């Protein structure tokens, strides 16, 4: 088993009860998930990269985690004033024009709940401004404590019928970790499959510090996307829950006919 440093104790916020209530409700109503491929999880800290499956990926890793982990989450979801605009744009902007008003209203309703959940769960806020340095600083700290890091790097551009393209700069985490520790991180693919109530862990690939970083970004992303696709197609035929919140009748199948 990997050696683990004692995790730094974080003070609980006043709204910690929101996380407790939400997790309790999820456990009551969300199907229990079976994890396959646990034997592929290494005895050293690693980066687990999974498909988002809308909110299913974050829910499964928070409520039924296969390892001790911290999950990268969008930093805007951790700040009350930033939640509504981000939530509406990212989750519901593709809804029909006639009911967008409802989802715009909903984006304000969920704001205090989101803040309570994401600030109290085992998460690391990810930003696209100067605050990004805090993201990498905390990530290094958690890896050195022996925890794994879970990342959902998909964005709007489709890759294939299983996953969307990855935002590639998460791979830089391994470069910073190598500079600090001299160790080359493993990246572990994971397929979130809500329809079959399964989480599948695949075989890892190790960061190669001696290669140009752009080549490594391309190689690691390509490997992870291919492995996630392979794992999905290897399961019994099922409906894939895509990254984007699209009508259910448009959800793709795991195997092309």
pLDDT digit string (tens) for 48-69? 999 999 999 999 999 999 999 9
**pLDDT at residue 6 tops 60:** no
- 96 has pLDDT over 80: yes
How confident is the model at residue 7, as a pLDDT?
47
Mean pLDDT of 70-90: 93
Q: 23-46 as b/e, with b when 16 or more CB fall inside 10 Å?
A: beeeeeebeebebbbeebbeeebb
10: confidence class by pLDDT, cuts 50, 70, 90:
low
Q: pLDDT averaged over the chain? A: 92
Residue 94 pLDDT = 75
Closest CA to 34 of 241, 239, 197: 197
Q: Model-level pTM? A: 0.91
What average pLDDT does the segment 1-28 reach?
73
What number is the average pLDDT over the span 143-162? 96
Query: Quick one: what percent of the chain has pLDDT higher than 90?
Result: 84
Residue 137 CA to residue 175 CA, distance in Å, equals 13
Q: What is the pLDDT of residue 90?
A: 82
Tell me what pLDDT residue 14 has: 75
Q: Hey, is 187 helix, strand or coil? A: strand
Using CA of residue 246, residue 247, residue 248, residue 250, what is the dihedral sign?
negative
Alpha helices for the chain (secondary structure H): 16-29, 56-63, 83-87, 100-109, 111-120, 132-144, 172-181, 213-234
Q: Which residue shows structure tokens 């805090």? A: 134
């Amino acid at each position: 088993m990997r050696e683990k440093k004692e995790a730094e104790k974080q003070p609980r916020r006043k709204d910690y009860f929101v996380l407790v209530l939400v997790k309790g409700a999820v456990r009551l109503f969300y199907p229990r998930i079976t994890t396959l491929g646990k034997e592929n999880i290494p005895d050293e800290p690693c980066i687990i990269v999974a498909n988002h499956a809308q909110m299913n990926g974050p829910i499964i890793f928070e409520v039924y985690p296969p390892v001790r982990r911290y999950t990268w989450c969008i930093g805007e979801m951790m700040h009350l004033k930033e939640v509504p605009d981000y939530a509406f744009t990212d989750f519901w902007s593709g809804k029909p024009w006639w009911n967008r008003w409802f989802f715009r209203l909903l984006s304000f309703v969920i704001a205090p709940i989101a803040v309570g959940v994401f600030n109290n769960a085992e998460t690391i806020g990810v930003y696209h401004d100067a605050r990004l340095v805090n993201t990498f600083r905390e990530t290094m700290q958690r890896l050195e404590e022996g925890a794994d890091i879970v990342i959902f790097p998909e964005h709007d551009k489709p890759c294939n019928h299983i996953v969307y393209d990855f935002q590639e700069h998460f791979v830089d985490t391994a470069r910073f970790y190598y500079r600090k520790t001299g160790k080359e991180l493993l990246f572990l693919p994971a397929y979130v499959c809500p329809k079959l109530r399964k989480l599948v862990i695949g075989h890892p690939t190790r960061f190669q510090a001696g290669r140009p970083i752009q080549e490594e970004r391309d190689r690691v992303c390509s490997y992870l996307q291919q492995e996630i696709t392979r794992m999905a197609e290897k399961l019994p035929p099922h409906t894939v829950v895509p990254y984007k919140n699209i009508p259910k009748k448009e959800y793709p199948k795991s195997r092309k006919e």
